[in-house]
Structure 1
Amino acid sequence: MQFAQLPIDQEIRDEAGRSGAWPFEEARKLVARMERSGKSEVLFETGYGPSGLPHIGTFGEVARTTMVRNAFRILTGDTIPTRLLCFSDDMDGMRKIPENVPDREALVPYLHMPLTVVPNPFGGASQSFAEHNNAMLCRFLDTFGFEYEFASATEYYRSGRFDAVLLRAAERYEDIMAVMLPTLGAERQATYSPFLPISPSTGRVLYIPMKEVDAKNGTVTFTDEDGRDATVPVTGGSVKLQWKPDFGMRWAALDVDFEMFGKDHQTNAVVYDRICEILGGTPPEHFVYELFLDAEGAKISKSKGNGLSIEEWLTYAAPESLGLYMFGKPRAAKRLHFDVIPKAVEDYYQFAASFERQDTRSRLQNPVFHIHGGAPPVSGIAVPFALLLNLVSASNASNKETLWGFISRYAPGVTPETDPELDRLVGYALRYFEDFVRPSKRFRAPDETERQALEALARKLAELPADADAALIQDAILDVARPIERYQDTKKTGPNGGPGVSGEWFQMLYQTLIGQERGPRFGSFVALYGIEETRALIDEALSGRLAGGQAV
């Protein structure tokens, strides 16, 4: 996921200017923006709420932004510098105590205090809850090789980085209120203020109305929690802004050019833009992505825990596969659950294998171009991931050595040393099988027609040479099915003009021999697993030992 330094020639730039890949479409908007503004640098921004740990959505936002950033670099021939600012809203008050922290009671006195004041409940070198989570964010982003700059809201507010725009917000307070109040209910309107003062008496972030906003002196007056009126400056970190005005203020203060956000922000985007304009800025280019769904199609919620964590994905697959998942159709809602991992892995290596054969136009459409900044480090894999999973399933392998015994026979000369990428996949396949495939395996006993078909298949395989390749084996498997009426498909045409073979044939093979509903090309599986081993597997199925629950 690194921001690669791909050499950019004119052909690449020309094709990028016409490419329909969404990162180039977004980057072209930025090119036009730079032409209008005359700016000498482009600032990309992503936001982060440090009340929780980095999650899969954090990865997606930074990865997708990096894809647009790299596309812009290609379009401009790398002549305009770019920066990516990962901004942590760590001055926000702790509105509730997270479920996953130790000794939750110890944090009760710090409710509604800025997250940079809340003590770190996890121990270690970090002093505050926000500092701990910010460190986790940076470690998280560094793990994936992202190029970025970290920014702390607390540091920016306290250091004066936002002072000029905050003073302008005091001057244009009524204009901001005119934007905000129509978006609120009657009860909230009565108490709303875009300024959230930090209580001088308690240190808490206060959601209260202002008694006075003094634009001349740059101060706000309010009733503090001790019942007395307090006047504090809007500068120097004595106040922060509500989250919607804060969006627009930050855009104006930092002159942000691009920020993407989830669909849940879409209705507020016009508010962010208008606040930015009121404060003298130009709203950035937006990209709104769809939210993730769980296996049942419900919106993923961190509090419900119904999603898939970044740690869980990376237990069973490499970051590149997650990058592929993020690249595909970002404006479409996608289900994010464990079952999507094998397909993402399989698709990634298929795209990687095709990259070397493609012309420039096709490469710019290929996801691996955008995942790796134009320079994918791999060009495919000797054994597809789906085949590895089926090999683990059929062989009952529990370690890499067993699997490599099959792989080395299937692909002579390929070893863990010569193909470390495949060795990494072997490890993922073993873990994924053990946790997800094995518990769901359900063998069924063949009926009489299926028994006869399996017996015929065992005889046919015995006739093949020991070194038969996947294509020859697949043809033999099809030859067995063609005469059997149950497996004939009249919508397909066989090699001699007769009916083709239906998918029911292969489904039967996987249900009775592997204990799954489907799988990759069966001839490839037999070539990898071995002809004699497959015949032994058929004997196991015919004897009833597989359907009886005995492990393969």
Structure 2
Amino acid sequence: MKEEDNHNHQSVIGKGTWLDKVADTLIKREKKLGRKLDLIRVESGLGASGIPHIGSMGDAVRAYGIALALQNMGYKAELIAYSDDMDGLRKIPAGLPDWLKEHIARPVSEIPDPFGNCHASYGAHMSSLLLDGLDGAGIKYRFQSGREAYKSGKLVSQIDRILQSSEKLGKKIAEFVGQDKYVSVLPYFPVCSSCGRLYTAAAEKYMPDEKKVTYACKGSRIGKNEVAGCGHKGEADITKGEGKLAWKVEFAARWQAFDVRFEAYGKDIMDSVRVNDWVCDEILGHPHPLHVKYEMFLDKSGKKISKSAGNVLTPQMWLRYGTPESILLLLFKRIAGTHHVGLEDVPALMDEYDSYEGLYFGKVKEDNQAKLTKIKGIYEYINKLNPPKQPAPHAPYHFLVQQASIYPSDPDRLEKVFARLGKYGMVKEKSDAIMRKIQLAANWADDNASRVGDEKFEVQLTDNQRKAVTELIGVMNEEFAGVQETPENAKALQSRVFDIARANGMEPKEFFTLLYRMFLNADRGPRIGNYFLDLGAERVSSVLKRYL
């Protein structure tokens, strides 16, 4: 038996999560390549052309997770958050002002801030929203602005080598992805010095001695629209950031310049990554980073969450209702498979985090050892390898929402909800964590007032359970209608629920769990006697009837 345990123990890598597996693969690969491991950099690109959403944040958070797994293995690792703020504005995201039309194809770092003058540019504002989300979730990173990288010459030697190999490159891109554009045009977009646009100026010739590119501003097709050029002919100096590399080669330049060893990517840019890997290996002589491919985030209707579609779910929106830990759980739980995500997932993830915490501290039992190891590992990564010394007080999210909805405009609302928790024996003492949770649930109750109380969770009743529920409705209406909530009455109702369970061949625990599922979408909750009397017979009956 011992030997078998030992074998199982041996097969767990790190903390038993996908983050550990990736970190382990990365270290083995780096050792094979013979590269130095004194500092391992992982990278995430931050889009700066639209409102950052939960998917954009996911990219950075997961890269940070890999850095944590590397740190857990004893290596020094850091996340570089690289903002694509030299990118040109291709279209106006939903809800932003029309005057941005004049700025189509201009680098986002050269466009005024559409939200007022709180940031130096459009690009700086968009980047800051994502960085704010990362800060809110406690993610550590080193910020690198793309504009700064180009203007300060950090990418000059990479641009020079790529442009000197442009003929070979153009053929390779055509062979790889069937795009022959770069056979005749350099993979570099100068910013036209006359109209300030990117993409409209075609780079014609590279002069390596002067480190300059000649161009003609002829216009270009951006998405579905033609953007006219201004006709200007000029030269762009690559040492001064007067242009940027095309995406098909830019990642490679970044990877070599910043010695990046890991970057995940979404399947929508698979082709670009393949080309960049080749450029990194063959043109720049730098082994490309290890990658993990992830699926895109979709909304509940199955549409891709995107900046321009206007179905954006931002970290800020999530953090109005959920803790940073609930976001990290969503992003660390798994990387494979498509995520259909919406704000309606917040309550379940809040409760799921509590269940992870319960398992971590041994308050909840789990017999599957591999599953337990993985859950404990994810819990430690969510807590940045510094888990709390003891669990926070737990209360089902829907319960907090229900309670908050009872006192919509009461100035002492949070205190009153907290008092209810004490009365039901769910918490012993006040803490910042529980008051913060009550506030988040109150925000949910306020913004979803029409839905609170009308929710029906997924519960399938057996014949026995159906019979027990029907009996309970009768008991509530006949024996407890209008009955005040006192300790004696609560005790009487509690014992009636016990009787009903046993009379219908059920363990009381099974019946209580069923009731918590129906009312709170949770496996445990407040004392049923007190809770039902507080809700009132009428409300309890109407909820129960929904499931018949």
Q: Which residue of 1 aligns with 2:385?
A: 374
Whether contact under 8 Å (2:58, 2:331) holds in the other structure is yes
Deviations 1:373-430 (A, max 9, x none): 2222361424232333344467889622332232121228734xx3221121112222
Q: What CA distance in whole angstroms lies between the structure 2 residues aligned with 1:340 and 1:545?
A: 21
| Number of residue pairs matched by the alignment | 503
Q: What residue identity is the alignment partner of 1:61?
A: D
Structure 2 Cα separation of the partners of residues 331 and 15 of structure 1:
21
SS at match of 1:285: coil
Q: Residue deviations 1:344-370, cap 9 Å, x none?
A: 000101111221239998456422211
Q: Which residue of 2 aligns with 1:466?
A: 487
C-alpha contact 2:160 2:211 (8 A) present in aligned 1: yes
Structure 1 pair 356–494 and aligned structure 2 pair: CA distance change class (3 A): closer
Aligned residues of 2:395 and 2:525 also touching (Cα < 8 A): no
Amino-acid identity (%): 25
Q: Which residue of 1 aligns with 2:221?
A: none
TM-superposed CA distance for 1:311, in Å, is: 2.1
Partner of 1:95: 90
User: Which of 435, 438, 456 is equivalent to 1:423?
Assistant: 435
Alignment of 1:431-510 (within 5 A): 431-436=443-448, 438-439=450-451, 441-442=453-454, 453-456=472-475, 466=487, 476-477=496-497, 479-481=499-501, 483=503, 494=506, 506=515, 510=518
1:319 is aligned to 2:324: yes
After superposition, the Cα gap between the structure-2 partners of 1:263 and 1:187, relative to the gap in structure 1 and judged at 3 Å, is closer
CA spacing shift, 1:177–1:468, aligned 2, 3 Å: farther
Task: Tell me which amino acid in the other structure corresponds to 1:318.
Answer: T
Indicate yes or no: 2:428 matched with 1:414.
yes
Judged with a 3 Å threshold, the aligned counterparts in structure 2 of structure 1 residues 255 and 357 are, in CA distance, closer, same or farther, namely same
CA change 1:334–1:460 in 2 (3 A) is: farther
- My pick for the range that moved more, 32-41 or 43-52, is 32-41
Q: TM-score, normalised by structure 1?
A: 0.79
Deviations 1:311-351 (A, max 9, x none): 22111111111111111222111221122111100010111
Whole-angstrom distance in 2 between the partners of 1:477 and 1:208? 76
Structure 2 residues not aligned, in runs of 5+: 1-8, 218-228, 457-465
Query: Corresponding residue for 1:262?
Result: 266
- Separation in 2, partners of 1:443, 1:43: 46
1:303 equivalent to 2:308? Answer yes
Separation in 2 of the partners of 1:144 and 1:158?
Answer: 31
* TM value normalised by structure 2: 0.79
Distance verdict in 2 for CA 1:502–1:526, change over 3 Å: closer
Confirm or deny that 1:123 pairs with 2:116: yes
Distance 1:170 1:347, change over 3 A: same
Q: Is the 8 A contact 1:193 1:207 kept in 2?
A: no
**Which residue among 42, 47, 50 is the counterpart of 1:49?**
47
Q: Partner of 2:147 in structure 1?
A: 154
User: Would the alpha carbon gap of residues 381 and 50 (structure 1) be closer, same or farther in structure 2, given more than 3 Å must change?
Assistant: same
Aligned to 2:296: 291
Secondary structure in structure 1 of the residue aligned to 2:428: coil
Correspondence 1:511-526 to 2 at 5 A: 519-521=521-523, 524=526, 526=528
3-state DSSP of counterpart to 2:160: helix
Matching residue of 1:29: 25
Quick check: 1:247 aligned with 2:247? no
Q: 2:275 aligns with which of 262, 271, 278?
A: 271
| Deviations, residues 148-188 of structure 1 (Å, cap 9, x unaligned) | 11111111111111111111112211121122224566784
The one-letter amino acid of 1:266's match is M
Pairwise CA distance, 1:286: 0.8
Amino acid at match of 2:534: E
1:345 aligns with 2:338: no
Change (3 A) 1:479 1:520: farther
The structural deviation recorded for 1:108 is 3.9
1:38 counterpart residue number: 35
Contact in 2 for aligned 1:45/1:87 (Cα 8 Å) = yes
